Amino acid sequence: MRSEVSFTSAGVRCAGYLYLPAGSGPVPCVVLCHGFSGTMDRLFDYAERFAAAGLTALVFDYRSFGESDGEPRQVPDIDGQLDDVRAAVAFARGHERVDPDRVLLWGNSLGGAHVVTVAADDPRITAVVAQIPFNGFPKKVEGRSAGDTLKLLGVIVWDAIRGRLGLRPHYIPMVGRPGELAVTATPEADRHIRTLTGEGETLWRNSVAPRGLLQMMRYRPADAAARLTCPLLVCLAAEDRETPPETARVLADRAPRGELRVYSGTHFTFYTDLAFRERVVADQIGFYRRAAAMV
């Protein structure tokens, strides 16, 4: 059963959906967190699988994205998103169908960094899954020339200045083809856009204020991983060029109770290959069951 919900984060309304499993008693809850410019509708299938496994699942949009409030729109703000994750956890703990001492976190890409960071400061979190998590930018981005990098840095700084002055954001595409000015410019761009937009209505927009990338340059989720007291499962793709395994795996290495699983595929295989995703989710459910003592 799915119900529309909302909660307030630092005065901003965040919209979400709560997926309830069969039964009536309180059960563990997975709070799912999407990536840099993602929206919650791309996580519905994950939530459905977790609910079918007996877990409550909460998906939501960060402020200024999707169905949530917040102006200006499409502006990723790391501190604000971390507040939103904490508010989602508080909302879950207050729900009658949720066991407040068995809240689990799940994050994808930048959301993978967020869940590690939030859990490091919340000893009540039971377990964390970080899927293709962000842990710093790669030294070289495949298909992006030095000139392309300088152009992107220029618009990042320009948008950050506009933000400081209270001006309208300078938007760029999130996904583009090689050579285009976009946050991610890959040969798989068209295929990735089709995956994010789906077959019908979608919350996702291929437009984002790049100022958030400046914050990400200073973001250090590995430092938070070293402070985790709960189990952490890091799921990576062996051929990932966006969140490279050599940097992302550091989260598992630094966490005192870290586990690592590496799958054959790219960053976008997690989005495009249903059979692949089924295998990954099955592993994640098994991890959550062990951590929440559901076996």
Evaluate whether residue 154 is within a structural domain. Answer: no
The per-residue pLDDT for 273 is 85
The per-residue pLDDT for range 80-102, each reduced to its tens digit, is 999 999 999 999 999 999 999 99
* Sole residue written with tokens 């939030």: 118
Evaluate whether residue 19 is within a structural domain. Answer: yes
Evaluate whether residue 214 is within a structural domain. Answer: no
Instruction: Residue 255: give the domain boundaries.
Output: 2-138+220-291
Those residues with Cβ within 8 angstroms of residue 190's Cβ, 6 or more apart along the chain or in another chain: 177
Task: Flag whether the pTM goes above 0.75.
Answer: yes
The per-residue pLDDT for range 123-173, each reduced to its tens digit, is 999 999 999 999 998 776 666 788 888 999 999 999 999 999 999 999 999
Cis geometry, peptide bond prior to residue 178 (ω within 30 degrees of 0): no
Evaluate whether residue 192 is within a structural domain. Answer: no
| Two structure tokens written together for 187 | 């040969």
Evaluate whether residue 233 is within a structural domain. Answer: yes
Q: Which residues of the chain have pLDDT under 70?
A: 140-143, 190-191, 194-201, 294-295
Q: Closest by alpha carbon to 77, among 179, 214, 222, 190? A: 214
Residue 229 half-sphere exposure toward CB, CA atoms < 13 A: 6
The per-residue pLDDT for 137 is 86
Evaluate whether residue 103 is within a structural domain. Answer: yes
Residue type present at position 158:
W
| Domain of residue 122, CATH code | 3.40.50.1820
Rounded Cα distance between 288 and 234, Å, is 13
Total domains in the chain come to: 1
Rounded Cα distance between 230 and 45, Å, is 25
Residue 6 in contact with residue 14, Cβ under 8 Å? yes
